[in-house]
Structure 1
Amino acid sequence: MPKMKTKSSAKKRFKVTATGRVLAAQAGKRHGMIKRSRKFIRNARGTTTLCKADENIVKSYMPYAR
């Protein structure tokens, strides 16, 4: 069987941890910061782990990242 291909967009946006969780960048930080509250901007720093349902979708895009 040939190797399965990884979706290029997924490998650029997500990272799978050693325990199998998926890390992703926080949403809502690209533009329009002036209308966002200070609390939102502070809480949206760094990365976050995806929920179980979204995790399964991303893992289907990255067959070798388990």
Structure 2
Amino acid sequence: MGNKMKTHKGTKKRFRLSATGKAMHRASGTSHLAKGLTKKRRRNLRGTTSLDAVMEPTIHAALNGYSN
């Protein structure tokens, strides 16, 4: 039997690796009920942001080298 590590599918859906190896993610609080937020807050939540450096090794291990 093989001993390959499998990619964690939940992590694969939520994170992607940048060209420099940083883990990028979408900000929380953008899916629904955003009407209650200020326009400035909604605008600043757009796009992706890099994950904290402390969590990067965990994400790299879960992705197992996979990036979209």
The 5 A counterparts of 1:1-66 are 2-65=3-66
1:32 shift after superposition: 1.4
TM-score with structure 2 setting the length? 0.82
Unaligned 5+ residue runs, structure 2? none
TM-score by length of 1: 0.84
Regions of 4+ moved over 6 Å: none
> Between Structure 1 and Structure 2, how many residues are aligned?
66
| CA distances 1:22-55 after superposition (whole Å, capped 9, x unpaired) | 1111111111112111111000101111011122
Of 35-44 and 50-59, the range deviating more from structure 2:
50-59
